[in-house]
C-alpha cells in the first residue's frame, strides 16, 4: 500500500481509473497528477523561472515520457495504449539503441552511450555536452521530472521510500548522470521531482523541453505493462486535457527505453501526442525508422539548435519525426521499421566508448 494516509482511498475509487487500477494493483498516490503527495518524498521547491517562450518551427514544447522494458506487441495490446494511439501518431518503426536501460537514457540526452553496457553508477565528465547545452544557447527552458527522486538533482544511486520499496533509480535519470548538468547549480535545480511537477504545472510554468521518468512500478519495470497503463490512465490522460501541460503547440512522445526480449531487435511501442497533432493525423501510423537519437535530431531541427556531433547527426539512426521533417523539408533516409537493412540495435557490450572501452 503506497497511499499516504491523508488521502482516502474512497476519493480515488470514484475516479475513472479505479476499474483499471483494481486489476493491476496500481494505487494512485494523490487525487490528481497536479496534486502534491508525501509519496513523492521531498517537498516542492521554488517555482521554476523560465525564459520567454522561443517558438519552434512545429512545436514550442516537447515532452518525452519513458516507460520500461516492454515488447512492442505487449503495449499495443493494452486498451489504454490503443485509446492513446487513436489520439496520436503511432511510430511503428521506433527503436531503442542498445541494452540495458541506462545507456538508452544517456543516449537520448547526450547523443551516445559511450560504450556503456550496464546499469552502473556513472558520472559522465563535465566536458561532455548534452542537449542542455544546445537548449541553453538558445535560451530554451528545460526540466526533467523524476518520480520519487527525493530532492532536486539527488545524486544517490537509488532511493527507498519509508515503505521500504525502492521506487527511484539514478539509471533512469539521464541528466543527473552528466556532470555538465548536475554540477552546475542553476542546471541542477531543473532536475526536479514530482512534487515540483505538481506545483510547476499548477503555476503554468512548465518548460519547453521536458523529460519525465515515472518510478520503477509506474513505468512497468518492476510490474507489468498493464500497471504502467493504469498509471497512464491516472497521470497522463487528465494532463492531455490540461492546457498548462498540453498546449496547442506541444508535442509529446510516449515511449519505452528498450524492448524486453534482447534476441528480437529493439522495436518499442511509441506514440506522438499533443496539441500539434493535426486532427487528420490522429489514429494514424508512421512507419519511418526512428531511434532515441531521433528525439535529439527532431528538437535540433525544430529550433535550429545545431547538434552534439554524435549519433544525433548520424543519418542512419537519427531520422527526424516526419511531423516535423515534412514541414521543415528535412530529408530523412527513407528507412522504415521493416526495412531489411536496419542496423542492429539490440547488441550490447561490444561497442567501444569512453565510459566502458
Ligand atoms: C574529458 O575529460 C576526461 C577526463 O576527465 C578525459 O579523459 C577526456 O579525454 C575528455 N574528453 C574530451 C572529449 O575532451
Ligand atoms: C531545492 O533546491 C535547492 C537548491 O537547488 C536544493 O539544495 C534543495 O535540495 C532542493 N529541495 C528539494 C526538496 O528538492
Ligand atoms: C540500491 O542501491 C543499493 C546500493 O547502493 C543496492 O544494493 C541495491 O541493489 C539498489 N537497489 C535497486 C533497486 O537498484
Ligand atoms: C522497513 O525495514 C525496517 C528494517 O528492516 C523495518 O524496521 C521497518 O519496520 C520496515 N518498514 C516498513 C514500513 O515495512
Ligand atoms: C478529456 O477531454 C475529452 C473531451 O473533452 C473528454 O472526452 C475526456 O473524458 C477527457 N479525459 C479526461 C481523462 O479527463
Ligand atoms: C493556440 O492557443 C493560443 C492561446 O493559448 C491561441 O492564441 C492560438 O490562437 C491557438 N492557436 C491555434 C492554431 O489554435
Ligand atoms: C538481435 O536481433 C536479431 C534479429 O533482429 C537477432 O538475429 C540477433 O541474434 C539479436 N542479437 C542479440 C545479441 O540478441
Ligand atoms: C521486439 O522488436 C522486434 C523488432 O526488432 C519486433 O519484431 C518484435 O515484435 C518485438 N517484440 C515483441 C514481442 O513484440
Ligand atoms: C483507429 O483506427 C483503427 C484501425 O486502424 C480503427 O479500428 C479504430 O476504430 C480507430 N479508432 C478511432 C477512435 O477512430
Ligand atoms: C509526411 O509526408 C508524407 C508524404 O507526403 C506523407 O505520406 C506522410 O503521411 C506525412 N507524415 C506526417 C507525419 O505528416
Ligand atoms: C528519399 O525519398 C525521396 C522521395 O523519393 C527522395 O527524394 C530522397 O532523395 C530519398 N532520400 C534518400 C536519402 O535516399
Ligand atoms: C551510424 O550508425 C550506424 C548504425 O548504427 C553505424 O553502423 C555507423 O558506424 C554510425 N556512424 C558513425 C559515424 O558513428
Domain count, the chain: 1
Nearest-atom index, ligand 2, CA of 189:
5
Q: Which set of grid coordinates corresponds to residue 289?
A: 525508422
Q: Determine phi and psi for 238, rounding to 5 degrees.
A: -65, -35
- Does 311 reside within a domain? yes
Q: Is 331 in the pocket of ligand 11 (CB under 6 A)?
A: yes
- Does 310 reside within a domain? yes
- Does 77 reside within a domain? yes
222 included as an active-site residue:
yes
**pLDDT score of 14:** 36
280 vs 264: CA distance, rounded Å: 33
Contacts of 278 (CB under 8 A, 6+ apart): none
- Does 203 reside within a domain? yes
pLDDT tens, residue order, the chain (357 aa)? 233 332 332 333 334 444 445 578 999 999 999 999 999 999 999 779 999 999 999 999 999 999 988 777 788 889 999 999 999 999 999 999 998 999 999 999 999 999 999 999 999 999 999 999 999 999 999 999 999 999 999 999 999 999 999 999 999 999 999 999 999 999 999 999 999 999 999 999 999 999 999 999 999 999 999 999 999 999 999 999 999 999 999 999 999 988 766 666 788 999 999 999 999 999 999 999 999 999 999 999 999 999 999 999 999 999 999 999 999 999 999 999 989 889 888 776 656 666 653
Dihedral sign of CA atoms 25, 30, 34, 38 in order: negative
336 vs 286: CA distance, rounded Å: 9
- Does 333 reside within a domain? no
Report the pocket of ligand 8 as residue ranges, CB < 6 Å.
71-73, 259, 261, 264-267
The DSSP bridge pattern shows strands 271-273 and 250-256 to be antiparallel
Beta-bridged to residue 73, according to DSSP, are none
What is the CA(317)–ligand 12 centre distance, in A?
7
- Does 351 reside within a domain? no
**pLDDT score of 335:** 96
- Does 338 reside within a domain? no
Q: Of the listed 218, 222, 304, 312, which one is catalytic?
A: 222
Q: Which set of grid coordinates corresponds to residue 229?
A: 497503463
**pLDDT score of 347:** 73
* Angle (CA) 84 264 94, round 5°: 35
**pLDDT score of 352:** 60
Q: Whose CA is nearest to atom 10 of ligand 3?
A: 158
**pLDDT score of 21:** 53
What is the CA(223)–ligand 4 centre distance, in A?
22
- Does 356 reside within a domain? no
**pLDDT score of 353:** 65
* Angle (CA) 7 170 76, round 5°: 70
Do 231 and 214 touch, CB atoms closer than 8 A?
Answer: yes
Nearest-atom index, ligand 4, CA of 162:
13
For the domain that residue 172 is a member of, what is the CATH number? 3.40.720
**pLDDT score of 349:** 62
Do 196 and 240 touch, CB atoms closer than 8 A?
Answer: no
Among 287, 289, 334, which is best to mutate for testing ligand 11, by the most ligand atoms less than 8 A from CB?
334
Q: Which range marks the domain in which residue 246 is found?
A: 4-328
* DSSP result, 39-99: GG-SPP-SPP--PPP---SS-SEEEEEEE-S--HHHHHTSHHHHHHHHTSEEETTEE--SS
Amino acid at each position: 500500500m503506497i497511499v499516504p494516509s491523508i488521502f482516502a482511498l474512497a476519493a480515488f475509487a470514484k475516479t475513472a481509473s479505479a476499474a483499471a487500477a483494481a486489476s493491476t494493483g496500481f494505487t494512485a498516490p494523490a487525487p490528481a497528477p497536479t496534486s502534491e503527495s508525501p509519496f513523492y518524498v521531498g517537498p516542492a521547491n521554488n517555482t521554476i523561472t523560465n525564459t520567454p517562450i522561443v517558438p519552434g518551427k512545429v512545436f514550442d514544447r516537447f515532452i518525452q515520457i519513458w516507460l520500461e522494458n516492454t515488447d512492442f506487441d505487449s503495449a499495443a495490446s493494452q486498451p489504454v495504449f490503443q485509446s492513446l494511439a487513436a489520439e496520436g501518431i503511432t511510430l511503428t518503426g521506433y527503436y531503442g539503441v542498445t541494452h540495458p536501460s541506462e545507456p538508452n537514457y544517456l543516449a537520448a540526452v547526450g547523443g551516445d552511450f559511450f560504450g556503456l553496457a550496464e546499469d552502473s553508477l556513472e558520472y559522465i565528465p563535465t566536458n561532455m555536452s548534452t542537449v542542455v547545452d544546445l537548449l541553453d544557447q538558445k535560451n530554451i527552458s528545460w526540466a526533467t521530472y523524476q518520480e520519487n527522486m527525493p530532492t532536486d538533482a539527488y545524486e544517490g544511486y537509488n532511493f527507498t521510500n519509508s515503505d521500504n520499496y525502492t521506487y527511484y533509480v539514478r539509471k533512469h535519470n539521464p541528466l543527473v548522470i552528466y556532470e555538465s548538468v548536475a554540477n552546475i547549480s542553476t542546471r541542477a535545480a531543473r532536475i526536479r521531482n514530482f512534487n515540483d511537477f505538481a506545483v510547476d504545472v499548477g503555476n503554468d510554468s512548465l518548460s519547453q523541453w521536458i523529460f519525465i521518468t515515472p518510478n520503477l512500478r509506474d513505468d512497468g519495470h518492476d510490474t507489468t505493462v498493464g500497471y504502467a497503463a493504469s498509471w497512464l490512465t491516472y497521470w497522463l490522460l487528465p494532463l492531455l486535457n490540461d492546457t498548462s501541460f498540453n498546449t496547442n503547440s506541444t508535442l509529446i512522445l510516449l515511449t519505452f527505453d528498450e524492448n524486453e526480449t534482447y534476441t528480437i531487435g529493439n522495436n518499442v511501442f511509441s506514440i506522438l501526442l499533443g496539441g500539434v497533432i493535426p486532427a487528420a493525423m490522429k489514429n494514424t501510423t508512421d512507419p519511418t525508422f526512428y531511434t532515441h537519437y531521433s528525439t535529439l535530431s527532431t528538437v535540433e531541427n525544430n529550433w535550429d539548435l545545431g547538434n552534439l556531433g554524435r549519433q544525433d547527426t548520424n543519418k542512419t539512426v537519427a531520422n527526424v519525426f516526419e511531423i516535423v521533417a515534412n514541414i521543415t523539408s528535412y530529408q530523412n533516409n527513407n528507412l522504415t521499421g521493416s526495412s531489411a537493412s536496419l542496423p542492429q540495435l539490440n547488441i550490447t557490450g561490444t561497442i567501444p566508448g569512453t565510459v566502458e572501452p
